[in-house]
Amino acid sequence: MSAPFVPHTEDEIENMLASLGLSSLQELYGAVPAAIRLAGGLDLPDPLSEPDLRERLEALGAANRPVGASLVCFAGAGAYDHEVPAVVRSLASRSEFVTAYTPYQPEVAQGVLQALFEYQTMVARLAGLDVANASLYDGATSLVEAVNLAVAATGCHAVLCSQGVNPHWRAVMSTFARGSGHEIVEVPLLRGVTNWASLDLASGKAGAVVVALPNFLGCLEDLRQARRLAERTGARLVVCFDPVAAGLLRTPGSFGADVVVGEGQPLGTALSFGGPYLGLFACRLGDVRRLPGRLVGETVDTEGRRAYVTTLRAREQDIRRERASSNVCTNQTLMAVTTAIQLGWLGTGGLRQVALRSARAARYARESLLAIDGVEAATDAPVLREFALRLPLRAETAIERLAEEGYLGGVAVNEGYEGTSYAGALLVATTERRTRAEIDGLATSLEKVLR
């Protein structure tokens, strides 16, 4: 049981400084550059009573315009407004799942372990690979771990990453690469898909080839080209996939992907102002010892009954530390269980219907919006359920004006695409929830704000 927090008293501070041979706190912090020290204390408002504080927080919360309640959502870019059935919300909120933590003791955690095993099985099938872990924090974390695995397996630090990968994921990957020493080479897009032919490989070797399907702009990439490049450079092929689009597309594994990662939010988790979400991760059996996080397996107990246990987990990676390809030792159990419930509820046919309705809505929305004067397609490649448009005014301005009309009209494409022809585009996404009437309303509103 942890002790309650108790602030340091003046006597405790003096004793600490005396034991260190220091005369003041300023001397203790002497090594901290003055430019980053806090000067003059924190600029905080006066304390409030509980009712006043509650009123203040409620006022701040009321400033939000949540999806569904006041805005029809056409935004995507990695997080999507899919239907979460009542049965999924009901089962996932059961106390057995909500209060469960790490299943260290399998004899008292069979329910959670079985749910995670089912989750792993379904993710592996969606990815078309041998094994999936019990989830990671989010899609960006999964990409980082996939690159770590690939570099460790190949011994080569060069990472060839398509600009079609989510720019936030690329930013996280680049941040981690500053510590790991990975050399990130971004491959530009041409007409919306990766221009692998633009690469000038000095050494001819790479540790990972990273591509997204569909990519951030919604375009369908040719994974066969990426597979050929991976074979030529000796790299692992890492595919960032959309688990809903997998209801219509061939699995990345069938194209030769070695590692498949993704964001699991579309499978049963509401938008929730940005989280918590979960990272999907699957790989080939040959790399299972480098699998990040934990892996739940099926076995039998001493009486021959089917049972579930933690087969592999990153504790041994913690022990190896500097030789480990990952130090992740936890996961998003509740979100993973929610995904398992959602996939189990939908089934193969249900997932296909969700993907098909999303794709049909995207086609109708794209045609409707392109019929507006001044609106042009930002890409030429085929799209599935998300697409980028060029507008005759700033995308940010259009989004603000559309919000006044009751629509979250999309996401402005800027970060990660500076200096490209895609900068300033409006990225629009549809899900199975978007109706013809809502799409017509968006088109009418966009035509109005563009006048």
Residue 313's pLDDT band (boundaries 50, 70, 90)?
low
In a domain, 209, yes or no: yes
Verify that 184 and 257 share a domain, yes or no.
yes
Alpha carbons 267 and 160: distance in angstroms, whole number: 29
Cα dihedral 241/246/250/251 (nearest 10):
50
Average pLDDT estimate for 153-180? 96
**What is the per-residue pLDDT for 325?**
73
Residue 442, both tokens: 């968006």
Question: Does residue 209 register a pLDDT over 70?
Answer: yes
Per-residue pLDDT tens over the stretch 224-275? 999 999 999 999 999 999 999 999 999 999 999 999 999 999 999 999 888 8
Average pLDDT estimate for 310-323? 64
Verify that 205 and 303 share a domain, yes or no.
yes
Segment among 214-218, 283-287, 306-310, 317-321 with least mean pLDDT: 317-321
In a domain, 60, yes or no: no
**What is the per-residue pLDDT for 244?**
97
Alpha helices in 167-306 (DSSP H): 167-180, 223-233
Comparison of pLDDT for 65 and 209, the residue scoring more: 209
> What is the extent of the structural domain holding 267?
86-342
Alpha-carbon distances, residue 329 vs 108, 133, 332 (angstroms): 20, 11, 11
Residue 176: which CATH number? 3.40.640.10
**What is the per-residue pLDDT for 321?**
61
Average pLDDT, the chain: 92
| Phi, psi dihedral angles at 57 (to 5 degrees) | -65, -40
Segment among 170-174, 249-253, 295-299, 308-312 with least mean pLDDT: 308-312
Verify that 335 and 359 share a domain, yes or no.
no
Alpha carbons 124 and 281: distance in angstroms, whole number: 8
Question: Does residue 165 register a pLDDT over 60?
Answer: yes
Residue with tokens 């080939």: 284
Question: Does residue 40 register a pLDDT over 70?
Answer: yes
213 and 220 Cβ atoms separated by less than 8 Å: yes
Verify that 198 and 181 share a domain, yes or no.
yes
Per-residue pLDDT tens over the stretch 13-22? 999 999 999 9
Question: Does residue 374 register a pLDDT over 50?
Answer: yes
Residue 360: which CATH number? 3.90.1150.10
* Domains of the chain: total: 2
Residue 30's pLDDT band (boundaries 50, 70, 90)?
confident
**What is the per-residue pLDDT for 322?**
66
Question: Does residue 111 register a pLDDT over 70?
Answer: yes
In a domain, 47, yes or no: no
Provide the percentage of residues in the chain whose pLDDT is more than 90: 78
Domain boundary among 315, 342, 369: 342
Domain boundary among 295, 321, 342: 342
Residue 1's pLDDT band (boundaries 50, 70, 90)?
very low
In a domain, 130, yes or no: yes
Per-residue pLDDT tens over the stretch 124-146? 999 999 999 999 999 999 999 99
**What is the per-residue pLDDT for 107?**
82
Question: Does residue 11 register a pLDDT over 70?
Answer: yes
Comparison of pLDDT for 145 and 106, the residue scoring more: 145
Count of Cβ atoms closer than 10 Å to residue 441 Cβ: 15
Residue 235, both tokens: 């790299």
**What is the per-residue pLDDT for 331?**
83
In a domain, 79, yes or no: yes
State whether residue 379 is helix, strand or coil: coil
Average pLDDT estimate for 331-357? 96
Domain boundary among 323, 342, 361: 342
**What is the per-residue pLDDT for 437?**
98
